[in-house]
Copies of this chain bind each other. A is one copy, B any other.
Amino acid sequence: MIRNSPVVKAVRLLAYVAREETPVTLADLSAAVKLPKPTVHRIAALLEEEGFLYKDPLTRRYSAGKTFQELCFYALRSGAHGERHLILQRLSEKLAETINLAVLVGREVMYIERIESAWPLNINFQPGSRVPVHCTANGKLLLAFAPRRHRERLLNSIELRPYTRNTMVDGARLLRELQEIRRQGYSEDNEEFLAGVCCLAVPVKDRRGRVVAGLAVSAPSARFPLEKARSYLPDLQACAEELSVQAKLGF
């Protein structure tokens, strides 16, 4: 991806101006974003024309423009992914553990949402971060329910790197486990990725029944072992159903 794009420069200018308390001079801007003044000047002029910046005619200082400020009202209005977040939050509160929603992206699992439990000491993975597919509950789940061709291609292209003593590094064994996951409808991670942390994941399906995401609870084995997680299966499945039925996945 091109990182020298004028688009990137423009939004960084915008970000700097918006974050500053008071209007800024061109020289400030130029120093802050590390671009030559003529460059900043031109981009700022474009942003000004679009109403994203406002240049005070007297002081020549830049601040947020009218269009931009108006936009702010709208952008904030719909706090990202309200309903989905709420559904997950309810589940997290009930189990008192971390809940995350993930999808398959390329050869990895990406969190699209994550509700941290109130407990201290739990791993910090931000939404957007990625984890391996062969040693996580969500990963194995999504792999198990992926279309066969897709699954095979993926399995051939990943390396079964060991993360803990329990990480599965044997392809044949992984295959058997995937079959088992399809049979029982959920997957487990018994400290296969992070020592001391176990997970349990259930599928989230779209209208047509295809598995599009995984919903998992993850917690320190010490206070929340897999047996306990299993006892909450109905709650997890109900939550997954809620996400599916209401088609709240999208937004």
Contact = CB atoms under 8 A, between A and B. Distances in A.
Interface of A: 1-2, 5-12, 14-15, 18-23, 43, 45-47, 49-50, 52, 54, 56-59, 61, 63-83, 86, 103-107, 110, 112, 146, 150, 153-154, 156-157, 206, 212-213, 247, 249-251
Contacts of A46: 1-2, 5, 7-8
Task: Count identical subunits in the complex.
Answer: 2
Contact of A250 (B2, B64, B103): B64
Contacts of A47: 7, 11
Nearest to A158: B86
B206 A70 contact: yes
Contacts of A68: 75, 250
Given A7-B43, A251-B63, A69 B75 contact: yes
A39 B53 CA distance: 24
Contact of A15 (B67, B76, B77): B67
Nearest to A127: B66
A77 B65 contact: no
